[in-house]
Amino acid sequence: ETGVTQTPRHLVMGMTNKKSLKCEQHLGHNAMYWYKQSAKKPLELMFVYNFKEQTENNSVPSRFSPECPNSSHLFLHLHTLQPEDSALYLCASSQDFYGYTFGSGTRLTVV
């Protein structure tokens, strides 16, 4: 139990589909993050939320749309994705400088 739960663990979607990734943290942290992990590339920060307000959008294409309804929940809405968007999507949360707590990730495959 990491304290950060991501669902689903695996997702296969067509390029015309719309799907959502969910992240939930039970740690009382104030900040939540979406990262993309692709093969042979460094982790890419996508979005940052602090007290449910978005504080960074790291030049992410509009086909990725985040939503943070409260400090405990974070969503990533997906639509009209490309095959190169296939990756492991990681959610994390943090409080101050103690480092991130990561979820187990959603393995996304776009076909």
Partner 1 sequence: GNSVTQMEGPVTLSEEAFLTINCTYTATGYPSLFWYVQYPGEGLQLLLKATKADDKGSNKGFEATYRKETTSFHLEKGSVQVSDSAVYFCALSDGRFQGAQKLVFGQGTRLTINP
> Does the footprint of partner 1 cover residue 47 (CB under 8 A)?
no
As beta bridge partners, residue 35 has: 45, 90
Helices (H), the chain: none
Give yes or no for residue 2 binding partner 1 (CB under 8 A).
yes
- DSSP conformation letters of 77-108: EEES--GGG-EEEEEEEE-TTS-EEE---EEE
Residue 65 or residue 104: which is nearer to partner 1 going by CB?
104
- Minimum distance, C-beta of residue 80 to partner 1, in the bound complex (Å): 26
**Which residue, 15 or 109, has its beta carbon nearer to partner 1?**
109
Strands 106-110 and 4-7, sheet pairing: unpaired
Positions that interact with partner 1 (CB under 8 A): 2, 4, 6, 30-31, 33, 41-43, 45, 48-51, 55-56, 90, 92, 94, 96-105
